[in-house]
Chains A and B, each alone.
Chain A
Amino acid sequence: MQSVAEVVPPRTHYLNATYGVKSWLLTTDHKRIALLYLTSVTFFFFLGGLFAVLIRLELLTPQGDLVQAETYNRLFTMHGVVMVFFFLIPAIPAVLGNFLVPLMIGARDLAFPKINLLSWYIYNVGALFTVIAILSGGVDTGWTFYTPYSSTYSNGNVILTGIGVFITGFSSILTGLNFIVTIHTMRAPGLTWFRLPLFIWSHYATSLIMILGTPVIAVTILLLALERIAHIGIFDPAVGGDPVLFQHLFWFYSHPAVYIMVLPAMGVISELIANMSRKNIFGYKFVAFASLAIAVFGFLVWGHHLFVSTQSVYAGMVFSVLSYAVAIPSAVKVFNWTATLYRGSISYDTPMLYAFGFIGFFIIGGMTGLFLAALGVDVHVTDTYFVVAHFHYIMVGGTIMGYLGGLHYWWPKITGRLYPEAWARFGALVVFVGFNLTFFPQFLLGYMGMPRRYYAYPPEFQVLNVMSSAGASILGVGYLIPMIYLMWSMRYGPHAPPNPWGAFGLEWRTSSPPPTQNFEQTPVVTWEAYEFRPREEMDLLSVRDVLDQTLRPRPVGGEGD
C-alpha cells in the first residue's frame, strides 16, 4: 500500500456534502444509497446468523432437546428466508454495485437515481413484513415453501412471509434494471465494452438474471397466496392440480437466484486478483463471456432440484446434462484467475486473502455441485447435509468471502479511511478456520445419510455435528471482528489516498471518498481494463494521483500508457 504519511483528505466529498437525516433518507446519490443498503443488509445478516446459532445449538445433541420440532422447522426456514432474500441476493449488488458501477464507468450517477432510492425503501417494506412474520412466530415450510404443505397444511405465517419476499423482489428488479440501462447508456467516452472492469460484466450478467427471473417467483408467491386464501386447487391433486408445478415455477427463479448471489462475488474476485497481483487478467474476454454464459445457462438447469420429485426421467436427464454444462463457464473463470496469479506480483493483503478463500471454497462447492448434478448420486444425497454443505460452500465460502474481500478492498474508497491490516488478516484467518470447521463435516454427515431439516439425528453423527457447531461459533467470531474494526476505522483509521492499492479502475482516479458528482471532470478512457506494465513503462498516473490528490483528465486522442 502507498505511504499514508502525508495524505490529506478532500475537503468536501459525498459523506459531508450535506448534513442531516433527511439528506440521507431522501438522497439520490448512489453512494449514499449504497451505505443505506449496507446498514440494512448487515442487520439482516446478523439476524439470519442468530437463527443459525440456534440451529447449531440444537444440533449439538442427537436428541431434539433445545426446541420443539415445529420450532426447529421455523428456525431453519427463517434462517433461509432472511439469508437468501435479505442478505445474499442484495448484498454485493446493492452495496458494492450501487457504489461502484457509476464510478467504474465514469458516470455521475446511475441512470435512475430516484428509482435507486425507491428500491431501498421497497426492500425495507418487504423486510418489515418478514420481520412481522418472524415476530408472529415465523414460518415452518422451509425457505422453499413447497406445496401442498405451504398451501394447505402449514399453520405458520406463509402469506405474511410471502408478501415480504414478493415486495423485496421488486427492489431486486429495480436494481437490476438500473444497472443494465446505466451500463448500456452511460459509459464514459472511450470506455468500450471490452475495456470495462470485469466487476461491471458480472453485475451486468447478474442484472439480466434479476430482470428475467425475479418476476417468476413473484407470480409463484401470488399463486401460493391465492391457494392459501381461496383453497382453489392450483397445486391440489384432488382437483387436478400438480404440486410439482409449484416447484417448477419456484426453482425457475431460485436456481438463477443462486447465480445472482455468486456472480457479483466473482466480479469482485476478478478485480481483486488482477489488481492485487498487478497483472492483466488472463483471458479477459473469456471471463467476460463466461459471466454472460453463467447467467444464461443458469436459467436452463432448475430441474435438478426436482430430480426426486416425480419429474420425468427424461427431463431429469436433460437437466442433468445442462447442469454439467453450467459448471463449464465457472471453471473457465477459476482457471483464468489461477493463470492470472501465476507469475503475478502478489500482495497478501486482506482482500487477496479473501479472494484466495473464495477460489478454494468455490472449487469445492462447485465440484460437489457436479456430484449433485449426477442423477444417481443425487438420489442418494438429496435432502441430506451433503446438499447443505454444497450450497454453504458456495454462498458462505463464495459469496460472503467475495463480499468481505470487496468491502475491505473498496473500504478506503467508500469511507476515506484505511482499516487496520493486522486485525483484518487475523479476522480473515478466523473466518477461514471457522468456515471449514463448520461446513466440511457436513459433507461427511450428508454422505453418511444425515438428513437435512431434522432436529434430531442418530448418536453416531454427534461428533461431526459438534465439530460443525464449534466451527460455527468460531465463524461467528470471525464475522464480528471485521464489524468492530471496520466501524472503528471510520472514526480513527488513517486517511486513505485516492489509490492505496495502485490499482486500475476509474474509481481509483478520484478522491477517497469521492465527491458527490464522482469526478471533477468526466474521464476519457484510452487504456485497457488492467493494463499493468513494468513501472518504468507505465504512465505513472496512479502514483501521480497519490502525490497530487486530484484527478488529471487524460488528453483526448493522446497516447495511452
Chain B
Amino acid sequence: MERSLADTHVATSVGLAHHFDDVEQQREAGTLGMWAFLVTEVMFFGGLFLAYILYRSKYPVEFAVASNSLNVTMGFINTLVLICSSLTMALGVYFSQVGNRSLLILFLILTMILGLTFLVIKGVEYHEKYVEHHVPVRFQTYQFKWEPRASEARGAREESSRAVDTGHVEMFFWLYFAMTGVHALHMIIGLGILTTLVLMARRGRFTPEYHSPVELSGLYWHFVDIVWIFLFPLLYLIGAHLH
C-alpha cells in the first residue's frame, strides 16, 4: 500500500510498524497475539490443574488435612492484594487510553507494589512451610515430615477410619509448591513487564492513539490474577472446615 510522506510521518508517531497497513490492523494483531499466548498459558497451568484434580479425587482426606495446615489468612490477604492489583492495572490501562501520563505511571507503580506485596507474603508462607518441614523433597539435609495434627484425627474420623497416609499428604504439598511456584514465577515476569512499561511511559511513549503495550500487559496481568482466583479455593480452602 503506497503511503504518502505525510502518512509516513503520522505512522511513525503512532508507532505503526512497516508491515502493517494501518494502526487498527496492528492493534487487532497485537490483541489476538496476546490472547493466543494466554491460551498457551491456560494449557500450561492446565496440566498442573489436571494433576491436582486427579490426586485430590483419589486422596480427599489427606488433601483436606494437608490444606488445613496452610496459612489461610495469608492466602486470603494475598487474594485481596491481587484483586486490588487487577483494579489498579485496569485503571492504568484506562489512563493510557485517555492519555493521562502521570496517572498511568502512578497506577502502574501501585500495581507493582501490590504485586511485590503478594510475593513477599508468599515468601513468608514458603518460609513457614520450610520450617515446618512441609517442603516435599528428599535430600540428605532436608526431608519432608508430616506431624499428625488434631484436625487430622477429626478429618480422618469424618471420612474414614484409617490413618492418614503421609505419602498422599506429601502429594498435596508438591502440588501446592508447583502450582504456586509457577504462578509466582509468572508474577515476577509480570513485575519485569510492568517495570518496562513504567520506563516507556516516563519517556512519553504512550498516547491515546498508541498504548497497546499497556493494554496487552494488562491482559497478562489479569490472567495471572485469574489463576490465583482458582488456586486460592483449591489449595487453601479444602480443609477450612476442619478447624
Say yes or no for B150: interface residue by CB 8 A criterion.
Answer: no
Q: Which of B4-12, B40-48, B89-97 contacts A (4 or more CB under 8 A)?
A: B40-48
Say yes or no for B148: interface residue by CB 8 A criterion.
Answer: no
Kindly state the separation between the CA atoms of A321 and B171 in the bound complex, as whole angstroms.
34
Kindly state the separation between the CA atoms of A223 and B171 in the bound complex, as whole angstroms.
13
Q: Which of A7-15, A237-245, A391-399 contacts B (4 or more CB under 8 A)?
A: A237-245
Residues on A with C-beta less than 8 A from B1 are 521-522
Kindly state the separation between the CA atoms of A184 and B28 in the bound complex, as whole angstroms.
9
Distance in Å from the Cβ of A18 to the closest Cβ of chain B? 15
Chain B residue nearest in CB terms to A227: B174
Whether B167 contacts A185 by the Cβ 8 Å rule is: no
Residues on A with C-beta less than 8 A from B21 are 522
Chain A residue nearest in CB terms to B167: A239
Say yes or no for A211: interface residue by CB 8 A criterion.
Answer: yes
Say yes or no for A186: interface residue by CB 8 A criterion.
Answer: yes
Binding site for B on A (CB under 8 A): 107-113, 173, 176-178, 180-182, 184-186, 211-216, 218-220, 222-223, 226, 230-234, 238-242, 245, 248-249, 517, 521-522
Kindly state the separation between the CA atoms of A212 and B38 in the bound complex, as whole angstroms.
10
Give which listed residue, B29, B36, B43, contacts A186 with CB less than 8 A: B29
Whether B19 contacts A109 by the Cβ 8 Å rule is: yes
Other A-B contacts than A111-B33, A232-B174, 6 sampled, CB-CB below 8 A, are A185-B25, A186-B29, A220-B47, A239-B170, A240-B167, A521-B1
Whether B55 contacts A240 by the Cβ 8 Å rule is: yes
Say yes or no for B131: interface residue by CB 8 A criterion.
Answer: no
Whether B51 contacts A177 by the Cβ 8 Å rule is: no
Whether A215 contacts B40 by the Cβ 8 Å rule is: yes
Whether A211 contacts B39 by the Cβ 8 Å rule is: yes
- Known A-B contacts A113-B19, A232-B136, A239-B168; A213 and B43 likewise in contact (beta carbons under 8 Å): yes
Distance in Å from the Cβ of A555 to the closest Cβ of chain B? 16
Residues on A with C-beta less than 8 A from B59 are 240
- Known A-B contacts A108-B18, A215-B47, A234-B51; A240 and B168 likewise in contact (beta carbons under 8 Å): yes
Which bucket holds chain B's interface residue count?
35 or more
Per-position binary interface string of chain B over residues 187-223, scored 1 when its CB falls under 8 Å from any chain A CB and 0 otherwise:
0000000000000000000000000000000000000
Say yes or no for B230: interface residue by CB 8 A criterion.
Answer: no
Chain B residue nearest in CB terms to A108: B19
Distance in Å from the Cβ of B66 to the closest Cβ of chain A? 12
Whether B47 contacts A249 by the Cβ 8 Å rule is: yes
Q: Of residues A182, A233, A248, which shows the largest number of chain B Cβ atoms within 10 Å of its Cβ?
A: A233
- Known A-B contacts A226-B178, A238-B167, A239-B171; A212 and B39 likewise in contact (beta carbons under 8 Å): yes
Chain A: interface secondary structure? helix
Kindly state the separation between the CA atoms of A85 and B48 in the bound complex, as whole angstroms.
23
Binding site for A on B (CB under 8 A): 1-2, 17-21, 25, 28-29, 32-33, 36-37, 39-41, 43-48, 50-51, 54-55, 58-59, 136-139, 165, 167-168, 170-171, 174, 178, 182
Distance in Å from the Cβ of A177 to the closest Cβ of chain B? 5
Residues on A with C-beta less than 8 A from B182 are 222
User: A-B pairs with the 5 shortest C-beta distances?
Assistant: A239-B167, A219-B47, A215-B44, A109-B19, A215-B43
Distance in Å from the Cβ of B58 to the closest Cβ of chain A? 7
- Known A-B contacts A240-B58, A240-B59, A521-B2; A219 and B39 likewise in contact (beta carbons under 8 Å): no
Kindly state the separation between the CA atoms of A218 and B45 in the bound complex, as whole angstroms.
10
Q: Of residues B17, B39, B43, B58, which shows the largest number of chain A Cβ atoms within 10 Å of its Cβ?
A: B43
Distance in Å from the Cβ of B54 to the closest Cβ of chain A? 6
Whether B25 contacts A186 by the Cβ 8 Å rule is: yes
Residues on B with C-beta less than 8 A from A522 are 1, 21
Whether B170 contacts A232 by the Cβ 8 Å rule is: yes
Kindly state the separation between the CA atoms of A110 and B29 in the bound complex, as whole angstroms.
10
Kindly state the separation between the CA atoms of A120 and B227 in the bound complex, as whole angstroms.
30
Residues on B with C-beta less than 8 A from A233 are 136, 167, 170-171, 174
Give which listed residue, A185, A211, A223, contacts B29 with CB less than 8 A: A185
Residues on A with C-beta less than 8 A from B28 are 185
Distance in Å from the Cβ of A69 to the closest Cβ of chain B? 29
Give which listed residue, A181, A214, A249, contacts B33 with CB less than 8 A: A181
Distance in Å from the Cβ of B146 to the closest Cβ of chain A? 11
Give which listed residue, B37, B58, B137, contacts A231 with CB less than 8 A: B137
Whether A232 contacts B137 by the Cβ 8 Å rule is: yes
Chain B residue nearest in CB terms to A519: B1
Whether A230 contacts B19 by the Cβ 8 Å rule is: no
Kindly state the separation between the CA atoms of A521 and B18 in the bound complex, as whole angstroms.
14
Whether B137 contacts A230 by the Cβ 8 Å rule is: yes
Kindly state the separation between the CA atoms of A108 and B59 in the bound complex, as whole angstroms.
56
Distance in Å from the Cβ of B104 to the closest Cβ of chain A? 24
Whether A214 contacts B40 by the Cβ 8 Å rule is: yes
Q: Of residues A178, A215, A521, which shows the largest number of chain B Cβ atoms within 10 Å of its Cβ?
A: A215
Distance in Å from the Cβ of A31 to the closest Cβ of chain B? 13
Chain A residue nearest in CB terms to B49: A219
- Known A-B contacts A180-B36, A219-B48; A107 and B29 likewise in contact (beta carbons under 8 Å): no
Whether A216 contacts B137 by the Cβ 8 Å rule is: no
Whether B19 contacts A185 by the Cβ 8 Å rule is: no
Kindly state the separation between the CA atoms of A184 and B137 in the bound complex, as whole angstroms.
47
Residues on B with C-beta less than 8 A from A240 are 55, 58-59, 165, 167-168, 171
Whether A173 contacts B40 by the Cβ 8 Å rule is: yes
Residues on A with C-beta less than 8 A from B32 are 180-181, 184-185
Residues on A with C-beta less than 8 A from B50 are 248-249
Kindly state the separation between the CA atoms of A48 and B48 in the bound complex, as whole angstroms.
32
Distance in Å from the Cβ of A257 to the closest Cβ of chain B? 14
Kindly state the separation between the CA atoms of A522 and B55 in the bound complex, as whole angstroms.
56
Residues on A with C-beta less than 8 A from B165 are 240
Distance in Å from the Cβ of B78 to the closest Cβ of chain A? 23
23 contacts between A and B (CB under 8 A): A112-B29, A113-B17, A173-B40, A177-B33, A181-B29, A211-B36, A215-B47, A216-B44, A218-B44, A219-B45, A219-B48, A223-B51, A230-B137, A230-B138, A230-B139, A232-B138, A232-B174, A239-B168, A240-B58, A240-B167, A245-B54, A517-B18, A521-B1
Chain B residue nearest in CB terms to A214: B40
Residues on A with C-beta less than 8 A from B39 are 211-212
Give which listed residue, B19, B44, B137, B139, contacts A107 with CB less than 8 A: B19
Distance in Å from the Cβ of A233 to the closest Cβ of chain B? 6
